[in-house]
Chain A
Amino acid sequence: MSTPQPLSGPSGQVPIPGEDVSSGATMSRRSLPASLLVGAGLVVVIAVVALVSFLWTPHDPLLVQGAQRLQGPSGEFWFGTDRFGRDVFSRLMYGARTTLLVGVVAVGIAGLIGTPLGVLMGSSPRVIGEAVMRFNDLLLAFPALLLAVMFGAVYGSSTLTAMVAIGIATIPVFARVARSGTLQVLSSDYALAARSAGRTKLAIAVRHVLPNISGLVIVQASVSFAIAVLAEAALSFLGFGTQPPTPSWGRMLQEAQELVAVRPSQAVAPGLAIALAVLGFNLLGDGLRDRLDPRLDDRRGTG
């Protein structure tokens, strides 16, 4: 993994031509990738909507009003009302909260457990590291949705069980990324120098490894965030995630299912919201990868 030349990040992208190795950080600051801008924009919009929903929504997202059911989009109900007469737009706003919460918690669990595990395995003797990582590969092959459905069956369906299950299922991903980054850093000259200077493994991990793999982990986090959002939507769609009447985009899709023939807009709104959120986090991850190319971090560490 200690590739000297030419530069190539994990995404296999060739770095921007004319890039000066010693001024990588400055360089990337100058050229913000479009994907980063679009992705960050979408994510910020969703976050703002979620925050605003705490203070204000056009209507009460939980209030059932039989008289106003299944109305089309209008000045009063921007995206119409659902079969309960609840305002779809207000529910979408509220649902953004659920979506972000799930992403944060699931990715938090995965990152906080997976990353240290990966670093530890990267610093451990090769035999142990390899053995644990093969077991890790086994877990990696276990579908997150299946685990979440199992959790739902055992502990009862709720947003929390869905979040925890998705988080646990994502741990191996972070462990894998962190370990490969760790191996790369540990074989670099400065890490070898630190070791020969008598630094403990822990000190090297904290001082050299973690800062240098943070880019990798952040990129992975944003991609995993997108996957978690999608998984929550899928689980709620199947009835294993968020419980009614709490709005969740996946649940809204499910409730719209029956109405597809009558009110297709009911399914389009949450479907679009999910698609945009996933797209946003994916683009963000992609853009971050451009900015936080670990090769460049490598230089920074060395320099």
Chain B
Amino acid sequence: MARSVRTILIGLAFALVLAACDAGDTVDPDEATDPVDDVDGEPDEDDTDDDVDEDEVADDGEDVAGLSIGFAAEPASLDFSTDDGAAIPEALLVNVYEPLVKIDQEGEIVPVLAESYEVSDDNTVYDFYLEEGVTFSNGDPFDADAVAFSIERVQQDWTIGLASQMDIVEDVEVVDDLHARVTLAEPSNNWLFSMTTRIGAMFSPDGVDGLDEQAIGTGPYLVDDFARGDRIDLVRNDDYWGEAPDFNDVTLRYFGDPNALNNAMLADDIDLIGTVQAPEGLSQFEDDDRFEVIEGTSEGQVVLSFNHDREVFEDQRVRQAIRQAIDRESVMETSWGGYGELIGSMVPPTDPWYEDLTDVHPYDPEAAEALLEEAGAGDLELDFRVPNLPYAVNAAQTVQSQLAAVGIDAEIDLLEFPAVWLDEVFTEGDYDMSVINHVEPRDIAQYGNPDFYWAYDNPEVQDLLEEADRGDEETFAENYREVARIISEDAASDWLFLAPNLMVANERVGGVPENNVGEMFDLTVLERT
């Protein structure tokens, strides 16, 4: 009998081990998020629009200058010129590296290092008048030479995909120390906007060595320490040319596991969750006076992408049938706990050309079945290759079940993200259907790029997008609105929902921007309360 007792003890020990596992402190490779290029593991956080929720909590008089912010996706290095991933500009852009112009919380382009700028009537010549007395953190002055250096460096040395947006620049002329003139090869509405992203960051000609470990910019913060996979310590730049930010030092901490991130917040290890990855756990914060849950919108469209290179998707009726078979409301419920917003196309409501297209191809399983029958696609089998990110896996299971209801067999194949998914789906295009959150601003333009992984090749859309880029602002908005409608009616993809921008702040931090409309997590707008 003694042996049985021992065995029972062993059994209990196993049970305890398992209990420890679901307590959520195990690092789970499944949840690892390392967003790359314009696809992203998580709905990004940050910057904003409209009114900003203020923490209404009283100052407890404690003078703690430090701030600790938790994120899910860790940066691979500090060098966003050669390493993809949204986490690097999120941490460094505006905070350490400043661009000439940035997107403000209303989504407008506003000057940063450029005191002002002028655009020629034909949209090809941009005159930037620079702020005076700005220096890089290595002591070098910021002048027009640095502007020319930075722009040319994007064209020559940057290896990430986004760098191609700088190809349109024909010439950068140094008119005088504080006046740089950029000439574009052809008119472009997108170029100035792209200058608000990481490619617009200004570098010192003497400060580009060992960029993966150090960052020399003009921004309000300096990188004090970078512990890969763990944290970035930022300290206030005492020589900053502009208004000093509220917090002396800011630590950006990276958590591989969404529950660990929530737990760190509960345990007061961090003051702010930059991106809530486990929305089901939000009720813990909602019920607690110490915390404020901030819900805004992001620019992350969770897209059910169809591979248009595959024969099955040649027929518009099949694509439409899939759209009509999916109850997006319930996908949002199961994938993001009901947070988020339904969208009918690749445009977030924060874009000026947004139009409510949620009524195009509404949920109607019977219509979907009829369409499939009409198209002769009765026994459709799809290779549904999904990145192993929590929201994607959850969305995929709901989609799979709903497609099964109309007779489509979508077999889920989980791929490790980022490496395997990026390689096999994003680069090789070896898939029928996939799910990913596309966070890059204005990424509707990818429907005009037949080489993109969904291989959508529609000359009408391509012409409209090209015309938009060359035309005036009105044409731009008009054409984008039209493209959004065309791809929605053509069922180029299914847009499951717009990822929410969920953050949790404690009483020490205020001014947290509601919406996420740029590439950066702007630390300068945060306030001490």
Contact = CB atoms under 8 A, between A and B. Distances in A.
B316 interface: no
B413 A156 contact: yes
A261 B284 contact: yes
The secondary structure that dominates the B interface is helix
Contact of A66 (B7, B15, B284, B329): B329
B372 to A, nearest CB: 19
Contacts of A238: 28-30
Nearest to A36: B4
Contacts of A64: 330, 334, 397-398, 400-402
B388 interface: yes
B334 A69 contact: yes
Contacts of B413: 156, 243
Secondary structure of the A contact surface, majority rule: helix
A278 B19 CA distance: 14
B258 A258 contact: yes
A62 B330 contact: no
Given A64-B330, A84-B397, A257-B24, A271 B15 contact: yes
Given A64-B330, A66-B329, A279-B11, A260 B398 contact: no
A259 interface: yes
Contact of B398 (A66, A156, A237, A253): A66
Contacts of B7: 35, 279, 282-283, 286
Contacts of B259: 257-258, 260
Interface stretch (B50-58, B126-134, B275-283, B474-482): B275-283
Nearest to B419: A153
A278 B280 contact: no
Interface string A220-252: 000000000010011001110001110000000
Interface residues of B, number: 49
A274 interface: yes
Contacts of B18: 233, 253, 271, 274-275
B42 to A, nearest CB: 14
A267 B19 CA distance: 9
Interface in A30-80: 33-35, 38, 62-64, 66-67, 69
Contact of B327 (A66, A153, A272, A274): A66
Nearest to A35: B4
B21 interface: yes
B401 A62 contact: yes
Interface of A: 11, 13, 33-35, 38, 62-64, 66-67, 69, 83-85, 153, 156-157, 230, 233-234, 237-239, 243-245, 253-254, 256-262, 267, 271-272, 274-275, 278-279, 282-283, 286-287, 290
21 contacts: A35-B3, A62-B401, A64-B334, A64-B400, A66-B331, A66-B333, A66-B334, A157-B414, A243-B412, A244-B393, A244-B397, A244-B414, A245-B412, A258-B281, A258-B390, A261-B281, A261-B284, A271-B22, A279-B15, A282-B11, A283-B8
Interface of B: 1, 3-4, 7-8, 10-12, 14-15, 18-19, 21-24, 28-30, 258-259, 262, 278, 280-281, 283-284, 327, 329-331, 333-334, 337, 388, 390, 393-394, 396-398, 400-402, 404, 412-414, 416
Given A243-B412, A261-B283, 13 more contacts: A11-B3, A13-B3, A35-B7, A64-B397, A64-B402, A66-B331, A233-B18, A245-B401, A257-B24, A257-B259, A260-B281, A271-B15, A272-B15
